[in-house]
Amino acid sequence: MKLGISSYTFTWAVGIPGYYPQHKMGVMELLDKAVELGVHVVQIADNLPLDRLSDSEIDSLAKFASGLKITIEVGTRGILNNNLLTYLRLAERLNSPIVRVVLDSLDYHPSEDEVISIIKPIIPEFERSRISLAIENYETFNVKTLKRIVHRLDSEYAGICLDNANSFGSMDDTKTVVEELGHLAVDIHVKGFKIYRANQNMGFIIEGTSIDKGLLDLAWFFGRISENGRDCNVILEQWTPFENDVYTTIEKENSWAKTSIEYLRKFIKT
């Protein structure tokens, strides 16, 4: 396992609609953050879309990452309009071992059968490139459906980007995610979270926190992943709650990233 960061580690610095900082973090600055934190994997996801960069910018990114000995992982969202093949080509140029994908997009929420009909014909392209398609667990599909999708794709180059917290929205807790999908993981997202009662005791709130303050039992989590025989890169993501303004929030985001990476080194040495 190698430890890394993502454009979703620094979501506020990259920018959220309605909350853009004056200077948004770009891909080169994200790599600078990796150097600062001493990690050697950077996942560039759909909040910092690589397909909007020019050919020369992609070449510069590849050269910069290589010089820093940083592995780039590419990520995207949506499966229409040959998007996965676009990102497969980008993965080839950037030497990414995976293409991480969230299956649905803002205006398209495919059924299981639609996912299979769109992805299965292009899986041979991933096999030829020896690049894994990493389908992220998300609230759109429960984990049993995601497991069935991967089995129906029937390729060693189709797997899961396993996120420890995303599936709460589909009524699947972290233990269920790991037990059902752990043997299919080709990439891992970890984020700190806590669950607490709302002030009026009417329901619960799930909120992000630094990884050391969260509820996830990391020793159990990484132990079960290893027992499943998986040796995946581990990417820190963050659900940093909004503070009084975007700049204060970015400061917290940076502080949490440093603390969380330091804490994760207890479990991941590289």
Span 131-150, mean pLDDT? 97
Token match 């909004």: residue?
Answer: 242
Separation between Cα atoms, residue 154 and residue 256, nearest integer Å? 39
SS3 category, 156: coil
DSSP β-ladder status, 192-197 and 185-190: unpaired
Spatial distance between the Cα atoms of 7 and 66, rounded to a whole number of angstroms: 18
Structure confidence at residue 184 as a pLDDT band (50, 70, 90): very high
Nearest-angstrom CA–CA distance, 3 and 140? 27
Instruction: Report the sign of the C-alpha dihedral through residues 214, 217, 223, 225, in that order.
Output: negative
Nearest to 102 by CA among 137, 142, 147: 137
Please, what is the average pLDDT of the chain?
A: 97
Total-model pTM: 0.96
Report residue 229's pLDDT band, with 50, 70 and 90 as the boundaries: confident
Half-sphere exposure of 79 (CA within 13 A, CB side): 24
What is the pLDDT averaged over residues 188-217?
96
Q: What are phi and psi of 148, to 5 degrees?
A: -65, -40
Residue 173, Cβ neighbours under 10 Å: how many? 13
Q: Does domain 3-264 have CATH number 3.20.20.150?
A: yes
pLDDT for the residue numbered 269:
80
Segment 47-60 mean pLDDT: 98
Evaluate if residue 16 carries a pLDDT over 90.
yes
User: Tokens 């999708």 sit at which residue?
Assistant: 149
Distances (CA, A) of 54 to 8, 14, 30, 61, 88: 22, 19, 18, 11, 16
Query: Looking at residue 58, what is its pLDDT?
Result: 98
